[in-house]
Amino acid sequence: MQIGIMARTFVRPTLEETLDAVISHEIYCVQFSLGCVGLPELPEHINTGLCDRIRREMDARQITMSAISGTFNMIHPDLQKRRDGLRLLRELMSVCHRLGTSVITLCTGTRDPESMWRRHPENDSPEAWEDLVASMKEALQNAEENKVTLAFEPEVSNVVDSAIKGRRLLDEMQSPYLKVVMDGANIFHKGELPRMREILDEAFALLGEDIIIAHAKDLDHDGEAGHKAAGTGLLDYDRYLSLLNTVGFDVPLILHGLSEEQVNECIAFLRGKI
């Protein structure tokens, strides 16, 4: 398992300083965001010169870009916002290989018009699922053209809020360009924490063969939000990491949901568990 981190954990004035902060913790694997170079995650245009600079600075420090963030609300109630998101995602796809990655992480979305991370009762409607399928089909067509893998994350606030729905999406799409981001802290609905091991086992049984990247954070309660730094909450990391070891390749394990001050402690925790 490669321990990595969200590059945006480190807030610095320049890309070079951000990457220097990453390797100062002996981390050489990141999930990148264009926010690290002062752009939106999905900008209107991505300059090829900027891509070359990012690739050059990453290579100089021997940092691997395991994935780049491309999140937008794939089932936003406003159709135009969905169309805009797909258009901007296509722009990001077009430069991925130049940046040095072939994986884009996605959010399956919510009917909440203001936040991608807030649950809405209409997420469970047939119409929400139909909109997700339509958005994902278009995104996957573009992914195939650009030879890029899209990785969605089951998350209790989103339309794909469980491993079961994640499996359903994979089965409906039938695309080699669609994979999974596994985050053990994001899959517990209200009241499910007493069944933690059972739910983790089910998630890996259903999605294990399609996991391409994993996140490492923690939780202090089930349901929406309330996330904590890895090792400071209730997630059964012994079970989570043992299941990740069954995935079949050296999965990047990306620290997420922590402050810079917590990085050393979380790395030590993960290394000790691994």
Domain of residue 35, CATH code: 3.20.20.150
Q: Which residues, given as ranges, of the chain have pLDDT below 70?
A: 225-226
Are residues 46 and 98 in contact, defined by beta-carbon separation less than 8 angstroms? Answer: no
The residue segments making up the domain with residue 190 are 2-273
In this prediction, residue 19 carries a pLDDT of: 98
Residue matched to tokens 């349901």: 223
In this prediction, residue 248 carries a pLDDT of: 79
In this prediction, residue 11 carries a pLDDT of: 96
Looking at every residue in the chain, the average pLDDT score rounds to 96
CA atoms within 13 A on the CB side of 125: 12
In this prediction, residue 223 carries a pLDDT of: 76
Number of structural domains in the chain: 1
